[in-house]
Amino acid sequence: MPAGYKTLKVETVGETKWLKLESLTYVDKDGKERVWDRVVRSTPKTTEGVDASMIVATLRKDHAEYLVTVVQYRPAIEAFCLEFPAGLVNADEDIADCARREFQEETGYSAGPDELVSETLCLSPGMSTESVQMVQLKVPDNHPPPVQALDDGEDIEVVLLPMADLLPSIQHYCKTHNVVCFHGLYAFALGLSLRTD
């Protein structure tokens, strides 16, 4: 933590099966005491303190490369969301194992070994301690037809988006299907579109 900042007290204000609301008292760099509210997951974390895996996976189909994304209803925003496949870690689960398990459950695709595992990433640092690690996966070219293994209450549609035209494809899909795009997916596509090769 930068010089001067110090957490004095953390109080749990409310708790459910999945989340806790905490009120955190801290001292800022000027020595002033401040209070901040935050949301914390109540679920297991990896040994590094990570809540979930987020999967960036590609597959080849008809001589083109596609990004594997999913659409699911998100009650918190009362809308469908286009996003990367992702999922919470189980107790004592490695993040790469979590990614492969969640990817198979949500999309039905099996993937080869992970190619890249990111550092710990925050999702909404102004509001939550929730963190993920991104895992890059590739679906083998000779993949069998996908069969999802969804958890009770999950309703997930797999959407393959062309990597060659990712940002316009996301914009078109969201507009024509009336869905909200997860900011990380949009930023990923925007970054690719800004490349100057």
Contacts of 187 (CB under 8 A, 6+ apart): none
Q: What is the pLDDT of residues 26-35, one digit of tens each?
A: 999 999 999 9
Q: How far apart are CA 26 and CA 24, in angstroms?
A: 6
First vs last C-alpha separation in the chain: 38
Confidence tier at 47 by pLDDT (50, 70, 90): confident
Report in angstroms the alpha-carbon separations of 119 from 47, 49, 131, 138, 190. 13, 11, 10, 19, 21
Predicted confidence band of residue 165 (pLDDT cuts 50, 70, 90): very high
User: Hey, what long-range contacts does 59-62 have (CB within 8 A, 24 or more apart)?
Assistant: 59/109, 59/138, 59/139, 59/141, 59/143, 59/160, 60/139, 60/141, 61/160
Helix residue ranges, H only, the chain: 95-107, 166-177, 183-193
- Which domains, from first to last, does the chain contain? 6-41 (no CATH), 52-194 (3.90.79.10)
- Average pLDDT value for residue range 51-72: 94
- Per-residue pLDDT, 116: 84
SS (H, E, C) 115-142: CEECCCEECCCCCECCEEEEEEEECCCC
- In tens, the pLDDT along 113-163 reads 767 889 999 999 999 999 999 999 998 877 777 777 777 777 889 999 999
- Between the alpha carbon of residue 127 and those of residues 20, 26, 37, 80, the distances in Å are 12, 15, 7, 21
pLDDT at position 83 is 98
Q: Do 90 and 44 form a contact (C-beta atoms < 8 A)?
A: yes
Report the percentage of the chain scoring pLDDT > 70: 97
